[in-house]
Chains A and B, each alone.
Chain A
């Protein structure tokens, strides 16, 4: 009996914790307010954050937050594939591209954006809750080439703003691309019949846009702040030399860029350089003080400020910017350049309200299902039914808490997996109670019957859970394919439910049952119908 009481206390503590975690906006923090003064250290709105030695760093940190999938909160998922043949780029290039995509989507201000490199040639982008999916896709796919161009020998600077110019970085990029293309035509790509049409059009456009300039405009829509440039207008080379303009540094040399108001209350862009960027940019600006420099995005001159000082770590771009123009330019600077052109190979857009409707319906379905199961267990098994019902509630709360702690992304298939695991959890109890009934009918006394029921049903419960866990493992592997990702959500919640069930079906139900029997022993002793017999 003492053992059961000990278990009961443990179960109650665990359940209490789990209830607290599964409530919305779980928060516990002893981090002092003064730690949250800086802008980049915002006070988290949820989670457990314990800082015992007051160094403003979590000694124990648990981010308990329920993550919802795209099909529930709406948003966008795109799978991008490098539009270059294998071998034309390195994994490092792909990772850089992913970092750039990440910077761009973060600039959109989407909360839980995910950007992941998948395999050797793909990047998966998930933007749950994004308001304008189309804008996001444009921004992601854009292979913007940002350059800081030497304009020191240019006399009439302003006439170039908004026009396309030809630079040596563009020439280099085009040479690399042309080389890659030559290689790709040499090895025919094994694509399906459906894909051929899409590829054919893509290739056709590439063939017509053989020139560097035409290609660049095709890849990126002109930014809002700049005048629209006709796509077929060739870039202007440097009139003084007749050669392409000299690119000092590309966007990869930038660390960050933000729009802010300067001392004279005008909008300006404050930028910081990476250490590599500083090594190039410092000496150049040092030698060209008082001379103009052009900021060029995809061949189009965005602005041509005059260099005021040597810039080793960063600087400010001033001009007659409106707030919108300043933030757009800052965003363009931040986004930098994608080293690899990316093609969308699969995408999914879900309207925000749509998913919410399905999830409300599913939750209602789950609640109705659970209520029916609880009443069914109570009617069918009476006193053991009470124990099973309580155990089922513990099971549900533990699951919900685990979803937040692990964390598991809840999608509709994941909810179905969870609901099915509730069904299996009940099955475990049914196996036990049926055994128990048989033992009591065979004349065993109540306590022996209870213990026998658990002992003898264990192998069945273990086997049936094990076979389903194995199947969910197979499903989880299947779900690793980008096109079948919804399957892994189902597999994960199902497997988690089955594992927790091994604990609740045996230990929790058993403890509850023994405690209830101990309390109500007199009442039940001669009334076997209360035991469901």
Chain B
């Protein structure tokens, strides 16, 4: 039988490397821009314009000049899509309605705007602060819900604490991986953290715990069935028994998500991409982090060796 858990150090190393890359980028971003993630207007307030001109004529400089006229010289201006599409995105500070209309009128003078293909959104700092507060509260409640869910799921199992801790470590792992992905995308594509990113993040937490629980359930079921077998073998068997389900489910959800990413609207792509990454890492972490951690714990390997005596048996692998 192929031993999945044997190469656990490799998995730990792989995950730590990705997380480390993410953390380095976040620190870099924190030092250069003063924030680990570029926050969207959902949280910090401001306005965003997605402009579609029917003819060429607008460029970064003259768009900037329009916004500078309204005291907004630091607006972030980006071309969207192909050069022939004449689509631009502008992130600026919060504008009152009257001002917004004047800005749009001025932009319309650069080249005719197609209002039916343009959109704009502005959020005042007050509303942004409220969303931030609600977001922090949501994260707190979600953490509480998920932890109680884990506690309930393992309440009557021997070594409940161990299973719970491993499930939580896998969950934190997933959150960090997704954060790393977001930080990379933030650097490359200027992706911002918005309310939907937070939504994706909470979903990731849910997915992660689900997968881990299904797997742990199987291990618990197999322990009394295969008494006398080494723990590592039982665990390995359980992984192989459930891996087919995990892969099948993943594949079918991936189809939907890939379809949305290929055909779906731009605004939704980021959201789905983050969900997609979360789903992958959720399944990955159940098999390659949570379960190997159980084995490491059983064998009192580092870092669990710090907390308890080593067992009498020497580890099987060299």
Tell me, yes or no, whether A binds B.
yes
A-side residues, CB < 8 A to B, are 71, 74, 78-79, 81, 134, 137-138, 141, 191-195, 197-198, 202, 344-354, 357-359, 361-362, 364-366, 368-370, 372-373, 376-377, 380, 412-413, 416, 419-420, 422-424, 426-427, 430-431, 434, 438, 459-460, 463-464, 466-468, 470-471, 474-475, 477-478, 480-484, 486-487, 490-491
Taking A370-B256, A470-B145 as given, write out 15 further A-B residue pairs in contact, using a Cβ cutoff of 8 Å, ordered by the A residue number. Answer: A138-B97, A352-B116, A354-B119, A361-B264, A413-B271, A416-B268, A422-B256, A423-B252, A430-B245, A471-B146, A474-B202, A478-B135, A481-B134, A483-B195, A484-B135
Chain B residues lying within 8 Å of A202, measured Cβ to Cβ, are 96
Chain B residues lying within 8 Å of A347, measured Cβ to Cβ, are 97, 100, 120-122
Tell me the nearest residue of chain A to B44, going by C-beta: A194
Residues A192 and B146 in contact in the complex (CB < 8 Å), given A365-B259, A412-B267: no
Contact: B52 with A420, CB < 8 Å? no
Contact: A483 with B202, CB < 8 Å? no
**How many Å from the CB of B71 to the closest CB on chain A?**
8
Contact: B153 with A463, CB < 8 Å? yes
Q: Once A and B bind, how many residue pairs between them come within 8 Å at the CB atom? A: 249
Contact: A484 with B131, CB < 8 Å? yes
Contact: B252 with A484, CB < 8 Å? no
Q: List 6 A-B contacts (CB under 8 A).
A: A346-B127, A347-B120, A362-B264, A420-B256, A430-B248, A483-B130
Chain B residues lying within 8 Å of A344, measured Cβ to Cβ, are 96-97, 122
Chain B residues lying within 8 Å of A463, measured Cβ to Cβ, are 153, 210, 213-214
Contact: B127 with A79, CB < 8 Å? yes
Tell me the nearest residue of chain A to B120, going by C-beta: A349
Whole-angstrom CA separation of A420 from B202 in the bound complex: 14
Which residues of B from 182 to 236 have beta carbons under 8 Å from A? 195-196, 198-199, 202-203, 205-207, 209-210, 213-214, 217
Contact: B268 with A362, CB < 8 Å? yes
**How many Å from the CB of A162 to the closest CB on chain B?**
24
**How many Å from the CB of A449 to the closest CB on chain B?**
16
Residues A427 and B252 in contact in the complex (CB < 8 Å), given A368-B263, A483-B42: yes
**How many Å from the CB of B18 to the closest CB on chain A?**
24
Residues A353 and B127 in contact in the complex (CB < 8 Å), given A194-B44, A195-B45: no
**How many Å from the CB of B249 to the closest CB on chain A?**
4
B16 CB within 8 Å of chain A: no
Contact: B252 with A471, CB < 8 Å? no
Contact: A427 with B127, CB < 8 Å? no
Tell me the nearest residue of chain B to A195, going by C-beta: B125
Contact: A351 with B116, CB < 8 Å? yes
Q: Which of A358, A366, A459, A478 contacts B138 (CB 8 A)?
A: A478
B289 CB within 8 Å of chain A: no
Whole-angstrom CA separation of A365 from B134 in the bound complex: 32
Residues A353 and B134 in contact in the complex (CB < 8 Å), given A195-B45, A365-B259, A470-B149: no
> Interface centre among B120, B268, B271, B272, by most A CB within 10 Å?
B268
Q: Which of B217, B249, B257 contacts A430 (CB 8 A)?
A: B249
Whole-angstrom CA separation of A358 from B44 in the bound complex: 26
Contact: B264 with A483, CB < 8 Å? no
Whole-angstrom CA separation of A376 from B50 in the bound complex: 39
Contact: B256 with A358, CB < 8 Å? no
> Interface centre among B50, B242, B245, B265, by most A CB within 10 Å?
B265
**How many Å from the CB of A416 to the closest CB on chain B?**
6
**Mask for B253-285, Cβ within 8 A of A = 1, else 0?**
101111110111111100110010000000000
Chain B residues lying within 8 Å of A191, measured Cβ to Cβ, are 125-126
Whole-angstrom CA separation of A211 from B45 in the bound complex: 33
Contact: A419 with B131, CB < 8 Å? no
Q: Which of A354, A369, A416 contacts B116 (CB 8 A)?
A: A354
Tell me the nearest residue of chain B to A423, going by C-beta: B253
Whole-angstrom CA separation of A71 from B100 in the bound complex: 19
B244 CB within 8 Å of chain A: yes
